[in-house]
Amino acid sequence: MKVEHIDPSVFVDYLGKTRWFGGKGRPFEVSGVERLGDVPGGCEGGPRVVVHLVELTYHDPEGGTDLYQVPLSLYTDPEGRLDHAFIGWWEEPDHGWVHAYDALHDKEAMACWLSSFVAAEANPDGTLSDATSGLAFHRLPGHVLDGDVHSTLFTGEQSNSSVAFGEDSLMKVFRKVTPGENPDISVHRELTRAGSEHVADLYGWVEWTDPGSGEVVQLAMLQQFLRTATDGFDLALSSVRNLFAEADLHAHEVGGDFAGEASRLGEALREVHDALATHFPREERGPEATRALADAMTARLEAALPVVPELASYAGALRATYEKVAALPSLAVQQVHGDLHLGQTLRTAVGWKIVDFEGEPAKTLAERQLPDSPWRDVAGMLRSFDYAPHVVERSHTEDDPEGATQRAYRAEEWAHRNRNHFLVAYAGGELSPEQRVLLDAYVADKAVYETVYETRNRPTWVAIPLDAIARIGA
């Protein structure tokens, strides 16, 4: 239902304050507000909880539109505890004047979401839906939710919002949405049904079906809360710090050696890829696919060259690396993670978990749904193993500039050791010449992307991906 009674400017003001809004710095207007409906499992005595989609139109050369999900808690009187999440106040048809807050910050509103999942669990088909609005809460069997726990909003995320329900479950609310099936839900659903040990179990999801077009927009997912898990990148940083603290020891001699974890992570990724190949179509594509892949990588390089002048001296070697891909006779593609790095992994007491199968945020949903080579995921992990020691290395530079040369050597020692252990564990041995060609190209492609990112955001860090590109060229 198109909303006419809300001043669009209230969303403009609020979006600019949030961490998850991806259009900061771009001129835009709110070109439409659509009310999807009330959360069906309303709580007695609680607020009215309604879900909105806010359409933005950008007025810069790039142009385009985005859809953002903004669930609201509506109260008759002001709620001082939610001042930080205040969006605006207006007159609601048939309800009078209300004060509106971002519902993710409101424990009372989140209790309504949880009760909706619990109610869906009790239904034979595992679904609680509202035929009028098209909102539906879906549950997978196998886990009984605790409906009496409080919610806690995570504050560190940048593209979505996550709420923990006690220590039982975690709900991720997608902020930027697109019609169609979100890979984070579809992949977790299949891996959960397959009993994969390397993902958090999916408990349910929320979606809205447009009554007019029949298009489905997936809004949120509920999954197992890995409360005691540790972020993989943080673990890697701790290992590097241990190495730097022991100036006379090699990486394999330090108590915090990460190589065993790197091997276990490689095995976990291989098992996840094998499971995905079983439950999603796997294709063997011909020379036209390898040519297209090489052309896409080359196009990204050409676009990066004006942004990163330092790339020019490596451009010939990079083009040659991509041309080797074009010469391959075939390309095997399947469902993959699409944006894998150490920050997308969690170490739990029972092993490694891989999270966030949503894909690369900069890509459209249609692009993120396409099958790809598993070597893209492997390359992302190898680049992450390269970044971790150099992040720590740079944190020491101001305090001890004279030790920079030794730290650079030790950083590369750590990175090489862990890249090698991860890769051997994933591949189960030495790579074939064809696999090496693909991996080198994906690593180079990722590093080229990183040079653009660092040039625009952290210019002093651009040497990290440039050094990796130099190694490939050599």
- The residues, any chain, with a CB within 8 Å of residue 295's CB and separated by 6 or more, are 326
Cα 67 versus chain centre, distance: 17
Contact predicate 12/59, CB 8 Å? no
| CA separation for the pair 292, 299 (Å, rounded) | 10
What pLDDT sits at residue 23? 86
In a domain, 305, yes or no: yes
Q: Do residues 187 and 290 share a domain?
A: no
In a domain, 166, yes or no: yes
Number of structural domains found in the chain: 3
Last residue of a domain, one of 45, 80, 103: 103
In a domain, 183, yes or no: yes
Contact predicate 127/103, CB 8 Å? no
- The residues, any chain, with a CB within 8 Å of residue 171's CB and separated by 6 or more, are 110, 113, 162, 163, 164, 165, 220, 221, 222, 223
Last residue of a domain, one of 167, 189, 224: 224
- What does each C-alpha distance from 416 to 307, 318, 385, 411, 421 come to in angstroms? 29, 21, 8, 9, 9
| CA separation for the pair 88, 73 (Å, rounded) | 11
Q: Do residues 382 and 251 share a domain?
A: yes
| CA separation for the pair 23, 290 (Å, rounded) | 34
In a domain, 4, yes or no: no
Q: Do residues 291 and 435 share a domain?
A: yes
Owning domain of residue 65: 9-103
Q: Do residues 217 and 251 share a domain?
A: no
Q: Do residues 257 and 205 share a domain?
A: no
Question: Nearest-5° angle of CA 187, CA 193, CA 199?
Answer: 55
Last residue of a domain, one of 103, 121, 150: 103
Q: Do residues 412 and 313 share a domain?
A: yes
In a domain, 3, yes or no: no
- The residues, any chain, with a CB within 8 Å of residue 74's CB and separated by 6 or more, are 47, 48, 49, 50, 92, 95, 98, 99, 100
In a domain, 239, yes or no: yes
Q: Do residues 453 and 469 share a domain?
A: yes
β-sheet bridge partners, residue 52:
35, 70
Task: Encode the chain (474 residues) as per-residue pLDDT tens digits.
Answer: 677 788 888 999 899 889 899 888 889 999 999 999 999 876 777 899 999 999 999 998 889 999 999 999 999 999 999 999 999 999 988 889 999 999 999 999 999 999 999 999 999 999 999 888 889 999 999 999 999 999 999 987 678 999 999 999 999 999 999 999 999 999 999 999 999 999 999 999 999 998 888 899 999 999 999 988 999 999 999 999 988 887 777 777 777 799 999 999 999 999 999 999 999 889 999 999 999 999 999 999 999 999 999 999 999 999 999 999 999 999 999 999 999 999 999 999 999 999 999 888 777 888 888 899 999 999 999 999 999 999 898 877 666 676 778 888 888 999 999 999 999 999 998 999 999 999 999 999 999 999 999 999 899 999 999 999 998 766
Q: Do residues 342 and 294 share a domain?
A: yes
Q: At what angle do helices 374-397 and 259-279 cross, to 10 degrees?
A: 150
CATH of the domain at 422: 3.90.1200.10
| CA separation for the pair 69, 177 (Å, rounded) | 7
CATH of the domain at 155: 3.30.200
In a domain, 24, yes or no: yes
Q: Do residues 37 and 141 share a domain?
A: no
What pLDDT sits at residue 474? 63
In a domain, 132, yes or no: yes
Nearest to 385 by CA among 419, 427, 409, 359: 419
Q: Do residues 419 and 301 share a domain?
A: yes
Question: Nearest-5° angle of CA 249, CA 253, CA 254?
Answer: 80
Q: Do residues 29 and 155 share a domain?
A: no
Q: Do residues 393 and 411 share a domain?
A: yes
